Structure 1
């Protein structure tokens, strides 16, 4: 028995109901979508080495695909896709129309405009990241139209309480930000914990500010990034202001030297 056959037989088969079939198809199509493929280094490099093809057996090992068994049913499901094609032997899959990777990367700026950071999710006792991922996707889908949810991790690869949410449109993200952020914001909570919502730009500014601080441990760094609205910078200080401050300090020092002499 081949290694692939042994791996395929190590998972419990499930019934591919219409709902399960749709979940399976949507998940694999997402892997190859413009929202994931250009930024998924492993998947992209695997495809580049094989003329765009990726082994279905490899995709079946991804955490969110392990529940879809047997793999033969996954192959059957992928054959119904309108954006993916399966090889004749049923071993590989790729996009029907290749993505313009360069153009997609250049569109990242536009994606960031419709992306928000939602912070302060419960994260202390998370054992199953896949289960949490699905739970948070359901949570946001009930509130707005979204493209994807990414869970951020700390240095130990554990969820740090922050979700990066890309909305279907800039208008959707602006509406969400206006509703749940600011002095008159509606309360947004998950499992009894109040959440904080920030623009992607503001979140990135805070990350850069955090990197510049000399923290002694990951605990301090994590706390500085989670649930503290007062720490979020509003804008960077202007270079001219910094220069003026240095000049004034230098003048004071010169005056002191003159007095001492």
Structure 2
């Protein structure tokens, strides 16, 4: 990348519109009264990471070529903009009938997220409808190509299996490889295509030029990620680390119970997609001692089950205390 491209990236993330909607970047700025941010942190922000590609010297040269729009400190470890910044937050989310109304930025990001998922997923047809293949069989069929993240059976209105599935993989490259290999199931060749191409084909067949709005965009931004390397870190310490360093809210932390998986687990995050969270990390997906990767169906299920058990336990405890607290207290006799 050129110095000019890097400079344009800097100018973009410092734009007022981005500052209002990008809580993570705004929090980084607010950490220093003089609005300095370390070059290393700037270089791994989603918009800057592919431009800088770890070359901090390139970043410094871009800053120095900005005609005093940006400046570096004497040690050449931090950057700030010379102009005054408005760090006020975006207006509260509008609602309609109690449902948050997505902003234009949220609609665009949701579309980008769906596109990313569909590009690393396949549509596969030709499975027997009865008995339908088990998840274990499907995983065994596709795992040799790459890590299977999610399996979705396609069913009709009566919940009957339609003989086809959507399979999400960890990367676009794996999905593309599956399509070229013509996989078969129990001796029968399958019809396989990228999910993005299947959806585009069906949209043209059924809906022509109609457009659609998503009503669940705000609530759908949830991410599950597996982590390792936590050692004896407590749940609250993991939550605090992610919140303080990345500005991301952790809904739940599940720690795996097996002895051989000590220090491993799954986190559920709110208000962010998996790919956006990973973009905040270093190139090896590390945050201090923790290493993250997208969670598959099994890990997501373990996290959700653990969360449900915790909620039930808390309700049970509160119910017990509530019952006890509502019992009338006996009056104590006092001696005259």
If the length of structure 1 is used for normalisation, what is the TM-score? 0.37
More strand by share: 2
If the length of structure 2 is used for normalisation, what is the TM-score? 0.30
More helix by share: 1
